[in-house]
Amino acid sequence: MSGEFDLIRRYFTWPAHNAVLGVGDDAALLQPSPGQQLVVSADMLVAGRHFFADTDPVRLGHKALAVNLSDMAAMGATPRWATLSLALPEVDEDWLCGFSQGFRALAEQHAVSLIGGDTTCGPLNLSIQIMGEVPPSQALRRDGAQAGDDLWVSGTLGDAAFALQSLLGKVRLTPAEASMLCLRLEQPQPRLALGTALRGLASAALDVSDGLAGDLRHLAHRSGLQAVVEVTTVPVSEVVQVLSPHPLYWQCVLAGGDDYELCFTAVPQHREALSALSLQLGLPLTRIGYMQAGNGVQWLEGGQPVDWELQGFDHFA
């Protein structure tokens, strides 16, 4: 059994390469790169709401950081520092060891230093603050889309939502399919290389965390435009493709959440550059529609407007 400080030392202290002073003092000291803007975001994961309490702790450590890194990717930022605030119902050494391992592996992969946090006793809650950098006026914001811009999305949508349906017993998958989709739910890969590469190419961007329907509405609103989406062009994985007759298909693909792909707009002149970028990154980039005057999201199926009331995830709805 270890106390609070022993626990912080054992599981959440490792060399912070990017910091002047990391874990262990009253506060950390950071030296931002000269001329860069600081980009800051926070995300909280609550047991029973964002994840099942019995989720593999290694994957949970990864995911808690990944969802924060995804916000940096969406801003076109390079992540540099993170803080971790934990409420733990008890000291479970195996859990802490796994969580710390998953968190640290992803942090080191992206050269992000854990520079502090807080540890307290309470219902399981993981709060991370992420800090990164971006050159002035190059951040990818939600409000930059122009009428006539193409609308793009990375990777595939709906995998995580169908993984959740499978865990809830609402869709039947083979063990191989289930584990492939669960990997997408539990170990999302933040699209950081894409985010920085989109500087100067994308006019607006956000990450798809609450489902395309809900998130796209934010981008449209902030840009003062309407997003038009041809639903048959929305990219899905082979596993999800096969599920297309399922009654929850469009709900999962367009409004399921937990995708952590990037959705962005760009002028049509950038189509070739974006195809080349897709090849270079080994990541599908798919044109799913365009922006026009108006508001909200207009869904088209085979060119015909469809009146779908798709809601993104909203904790208070």
* Residues that bind ligand ADP in the complex, under the rule CB under 6 A: 8, 12, 23-26, 84, 86, 114, 116-119
Cα 252-258-260 angle, rounded to 5 deg: 115
Of 86 and 202, the one with the shorter C-beta distance to ligand ADP is 86
3-state secondary structure 171-218: CCCCHHHHHHHHHHHHCCCCCHHHHHHCCCCCCEEEEECCCHHHHHHH
- Min dist. Cβ of residue 54 to ligand ADP (A): 21
- Min dist. Cβ of residue 91 to ligand ADP (A): 12
What's the sign of the alpha-carbon dihedral 280, 282, 287, 293?
A: negative
How many residues touch Mg ion under the rule CB under 5 A: the total is: 1
CA 216 – CA 274 distance, rounded (Å)? 20
Q: Which of 235, 227, 189 is nearest to 59 (CA)?
A: 189
CA 258 – CA 49 distance, rounded (Å)? 13
CA 229 – CA 177 distance, rounded (Å)? 28
Of 72 and 84, the one with the shorter C-beta distance to ligand ADP is 84
Of 24 and 148, the one with the shorter C-beta distance to ligand ADP is 24
Binding mask 81-120 for Mg ion (x = CB under 5 A): ----------------------------------------
Of 119 and 125, the one with the shorter C-beta distance to ligand ADP is 119
Give the type of residue at 228. V
CA 18 – CA 14 distance, rounded (Å)? 12
| Residue 8 interface partner, choices ligand ADP, Mg ion, none, CB cut-off 5-8 Å depending on type | ligand ADP
Within positions 194 to 223, which residues make up the interface with Mg ion, using CB under 5 A? none
Of 86 and 106, the one with the shorter C-beta distance to ligand ADP is 86
| Residue 117 interface partner, choices Mg ion, ligand ADP, none, CB cut-off 5-8 Å depending on type | ligand ADP
Within positions 25 to 64, which residues make up the interface with Mg ion, using CB under 5 A? 26
Binding residues (CB under 5 A) for Mg ion: these are 26
